[in-house]
Structure 1
Amino acid sequence: MLVAAFTSTSLRWVRDHEPDLAPFVKQVLLPHDYLTWHLAGRPDEATTDRGDASGTGYFSPAEDRWLPELAENALGHPVRLPRVARPDEVVGEAVLAADARSAGSAPRIGAGTGDNMAAALGLGLQAGDVALSIGTSGVASTVATGPTADPTGLVTGFADATGAYLPLACTLNAARVLDTAARILGVDHEGLARLAMQAAPGAGGVVLLPYLDGERTPNRPDAAGTLHGITTSTGPAEIARAAVEGLLCSLADALDHLVAATGQPVRRIVMVGGGARNAAVRALAPAVLGQSVHVPGEAEYVALGAARQAAWAAAGTAEPPHWALPDVRTFEAEPTPHVREQYAGLRDRTEDWHRSLA
């Protein structure tokens, strides 16, 4: 299943909505491909990498090759595509102004990659490691040694930035769940965390299904959030706890889809993103997910991944340089399987209701 983020869907949109312009498209580059090409002085041959190419909808990570017929089907005519560089390749040299050139040799340009691929490289993920990123949306990704093909469409079989694979499941609602709950309760994020920790696991039976503005995992674009189980004993603490647990259960579902699609057990969970700074999220994540959660220090891991890739290309080594995570804190808690059970009950009942309306 192709979602709007894939390049092929953008090409089809151009074909359908700009039919007068579509025939003039001769070559398709991703933003980082264009930047690389421009920095290198606009050579005859443009380059990309496996990671970003795997998000186009017309590249096969399993075969490491373009599927140009799919790009042609999307746009309506053949187009030129960039060469796919090796992950550690130096693809060119930056063309500098004359005064900069006189100062020394031109900087070399690495292959580049996509944001999630760079984040995985910056985090130093190994096979079986799972990164849970809690930003505006939520991302669960894992490094796999083999390609992934998920017929449900919930897990996208990307390539990573090292020559391996990066299957990924994405939710539309993550940190915005915390933002919304805090606004409704009239508290800041610290206040939300304090309230959530005052309630018992399971929030007294209150469950939040956090599909606030539609959802991608599961695929419910027209859904809204559902708050279930309120009684006369329900207070702000239970609502706050239900918000945090609902967010974590949604990410746990995404993680389960990853495991099912890859057949690969989870070795380690690394949690990052703005939502990972919330004290209640950190404390409750190992209880909901059922295993330890590692939270590294705040950093721009996409940028660190780009730096690691550049260092790899400059070093000319077989593997990327070792990259230690800063200030890792490990959180542990007794598992609370009943939290996921009551969440799954509400999720499945609403799924049945949505089917009945279809």
Structure 2
Amino acid sequence: MNEILVAGVDTSTQSCKVRVTEARTGRLVRFGKAQHPAGTSVNPMAWWKAFQEASAQAGGLSDVSAISVGGQQHGMVLLDRQGQVIRDALLWNDTRSAPDADDLIIRLAKSKTVEAESTEMENDGPNKDPNSDQDLAMRGKQAWVRAVGSSPVASLTITKVAWVSRVEPDNARAIAAICLPHDWLSWVIAGHGPAADPETEPGLEDLFTDRSDASGTGYYDPAADCYRRDLLAMALPVGMAARVILPKVLGPHQVGAKADPRIAGRDVPGGCIIAPGGGDNAMTALGLAMQVGDVSISLGTSGVAAAVSPVPAYDMSASVTGFADATGHWLPLACTINASRILDAGLAALGTDYDGLAELAKKSSPGAEGITLIPYFDGERTPNRPDAHARLEGMTLANTTRTNLARAFVEGLLCSQRDCLELLKRLGTTVSRILLVGGGAKSPAVRAYAPGILGMDVQLPQPDEYVAIGAARQAAWALTGEEEPPVWSVNIDTTLTGAPCEQVYQQYLRWRG
């Protein structure tokens, strides 16, 4: 039997990875990787060039029957009528739109619709002043959660659109289409944008996306499966929201397009289909074959605790985002801006490497003799403190040692992820299994202390590129047309165990405030 090959693409913040995979079993056949430029604002052409380089490293895609793109969520790509990128994409970790997020929250709170619905909203007590700034903000956040499952923070696409409208009005007036990083790259693979014949139409109507990535925009309701152009209108110049093109939202295994044969599928009869793709968190869940009761904690550039849920999540504290997943379910998650870079900061400060950090931390004790790191180096999303900075608390002349500082950096990272886990539990999320993935999960110190701080055993899947695996699995699913995705094995390297160290988290809570 001839092998049928599919490709999964991970166009992440840091790099592009292309995984050519055998469709039936998920076996890795070839792999390529190319770096993206650093920064929170990037020209999308860099993603296209990295994809081409990674595809070449993977031996080309001429023999691939289906392809899918998983991508960094929330990034804003603006296109003009000719399909040209208007300005550099603002990425998820660009916090310049924090004031715009606050403005959108207050504006919705003040709208007549919210006033009419305010009697239905949760009230924390009988003596609250409905016109106070604090109560107005909470009413606005709750209104956004009811509308789209999430309240605006600087990460979400709608806030970035609002920033462009406020700061770059000429660019805003030029917008003909708005899409996300994975949408744009899928569209280019189909032969549009920089891959297009200059004599052809720009093909903006051919843009497509999926529920998972669309649910991170702030203007798509995943429960109703529809865009909320009335909300998008709050972020655009007057009259534009009705005519701006937004990508078609496809079901979990629909076919979005055919790949340009110059890019993929040239040697495949009928060519290469392009699956819907998805947000990186949803693709990780698909790659890990997560089920209800599973929670993944991913320690990459960002930290993400995500759970598969059979029902939509509406967190009226606006701390958990109610995203969709890549299978037709939902993926409530809490995300921190700071994750593995917390460890990197510790390495730089202490002049050591990952093994050295683990050896230093091992010589300390739980709680680092009273020192706590609040690890908000680049501001923070959970909790929403975009202007915050990291700080060390509880330092004395007696406890300020390299060993205690090493321990505090590791514990600060894990406690911030425990915050996310507790938020999911508060929504009634079942947590029967924790899967720890991402580059930060390779740290010996993280592995040593994760079970104690998270409060239960932790499973370590074999290190792999799970976003790319999830994308490849979706591509194979779209190829088969079956109701369920193909069953691919997920190898668990080990199960981490350890005695609970609740006092570490409680010490963290006291300083976090």
Deviations 1:186-212 (A, max 9, x none): 221110011111222222222222222
Alpha carbons 2:222, 2:324 under 8 Å: kept: yes
Shift of 1:102: 7.0
Instruction: Give 1:33's match in structure 2, choosing from 174, 177, 183.
Output: 183
Say which SS state the counterpart of residue 219 (structure 1) adopts.
coil
Q: Hey, what does 1:219 align to over in structure 2? A: 384
Q: Structure 1 residue 34: deviation in Å?
A: 2.9
* Mapped contact 2:255–2:275 kept (Cα < 8 A): yes
The TM-score with structure 1 as length reference comes to: 0.90
Corresponding position of 1:11: 161
Q: Does the residue aligned with 1:139 lie in a helix, a strand or coil? A: strand
Q: 1:55 offset after TM fit, Å?
A: 1.2
TM-score using structure 2 length: 0.64
| Match in the other structure for 2:307 | 142
Deviation of 1:4 (Å): 2.8
> Counterparts in 2 of 1:1-358, with a 5 A limit?
1-41=151-191, 44-76=205-237, 77=240, 78=242, 79-97=244-262, 101=266, 104-234=269-399, 235-260=401-426, 262-348=427-513
Q: Measure the CA separation in 1 of the matches of 2:466 and 2:264.
A: 33
Structure 2, unaligned runs of 5 or more? 1-150, 193-202
Cα distance change, pair 145–152 in 1 and its aligned pair in 2 (3 A): same
* Offset at residue 327 of structure 1 (A): 4.3
CA-based RMSD: 2.1
> In 2, distance between residues paired with 1:223 and 1:99?
45
Q: Is the 8 A contact 2:461 2:491 kept in 1?
A: yes
Counterparts of 1:199 and 1:296, CA distance in 2: 28
How many Å separate the matches in 2 of 1:191 and 1:336? 23
Answer with 293-302 or 147-156: which moved more: 147-156
CA contact (8 A) 2:265 2:272 kept: no
Q: CA deviation at 1:255?
A: 1.0
| CA shift for structure 1 position 179 | 1.5
Task: Point out the more displaced range, 124-133 or 212-221.
Answer: 212-221
Deviation for aligned residue 1:169 = 1.1
Identity of counterpart residues, as a percentage?
A: 49
Q: Matched residues in 2 for 1:99 and 1:10: separation?
A: 32
- The structure-2 alpha-carbon separation of the partners of 1:93 and 1:212, relative to structure 1 and needing over 3 Å to count, comes to closer
Structure 1, 196-205 or 221-230: larger mean CA deviation: 221-230
Distance change (3 Å), C-alpha of 1:98 and 1:314:
closer
Q: Secondary structure at the match of 1:72?
A: helix
Aligned length: 347
Once residues 149 and 225 of structure 1 are traced to their aligned partners in structure 2, the CA distance between those partners, rounded to angstroms, is 30
Amino acid at match of 1:140: A
Residues 227, 106 of structure 1: CA spacing in aligned structure 2 closer, same or farther, 3 A cutoff?
same
Which amino acid in structure 1 is aligned with residue 173 of structure 2? P
In structure 2, what is the Cα distance between the partners aligned to 1:290 and 1:315? 40
Q: How far has the Cα of 1:100 moved from its partner?
A: 7.0
Structure number with higher helix proportion: 1
Q: Which runs of 5+ in 1 are unaligned?
A: 349-358
Q: For 1:98 and 1:187, how far apart are their aligned partners in 2?
A: 43
Deviation at 1:103, TM superposition (A): 6.0
Change (3 A) 1:10 1:225: closer
Q: Is the 8 A contact 2:189 2:263 kept in 1?
A: no
Stretch moving more, 279-288 or 22-31? 22-31
Deviates more, 1:32-41 or 1:82-91: 32-41
Counterpart amino acid of residue 139 in structure 1: V
- Name the CA distance, whole Å, in 1 between partners of 2:380 and 2:358: 24
Looking at structure 2, the residues matched to 91 and 133 of structure 1 have their Cα atoms a distance apart, in angstroms, of: 28
Cα separation, partners in 2 of 1:319 and 1:206, compared to 1, 3 Å:
same
Residues 278 and 75 of structure 1: is their aligned pair in 2 closer, same or farther, counting only changes over 3 Å?
A: same
